[in-house]
Chain A
Amino acid sequence: MVEELLLQEDYQIVDLILIAIALLVVMGLAIILFFYFSRKRIIKSELEKANLKIANQKEVLQATIITQEEERKRIAQDLHDAISSKLNIVSLNANMLSLKDISSEETNKIANSILKVTGNVLESSRKIAHDLLPPTLDKFGLDAALEELCDEVAESDTFQVDCHLDASENLLAKDQELHVFRIVQELFNNSIKYSEATTLSLQTEIKKNLLYLHYSDNGKGFDVLEAKKAKGLGMSGIENRVAILNATLEILSSPGNGMVVTLTLTPSKDEN
Chain B
Amino acid sequence: MLPPNVPPPVDAQENAGILALFADGPGEEYVASMSGAQGLRPGRGGGMGLQPTLGAISAMDDGINAAAQSRWADESRVVKDWNPDDLPERSGYTGGLLADASGAVDKMGQPLDGRSNYNAFRKFGEIVGGIPQQPLSTTLGQLADWATYTAPDAQQRAAEITGRYAPDPSFSVLDRALASPLGGAAYGFANLSGASPATQELLLGLVSAADGLLMSAAAVKGAAPSFLGAQRPGVMDVESPYALTSNNYLSGIARSDKLDMGIRFENVQGSLNSYSLYEGRTATQVYMRAFDANGNLLSGSVRMDMVGQRIGGTYDLIDYKLSPNSPLTQNQSMHYPAFELNGGLVTGLRGADIGLQRGRILPPTPVQIQTGPLPTIRK
Are A and B a genuine interacting pair, yes or no?
no
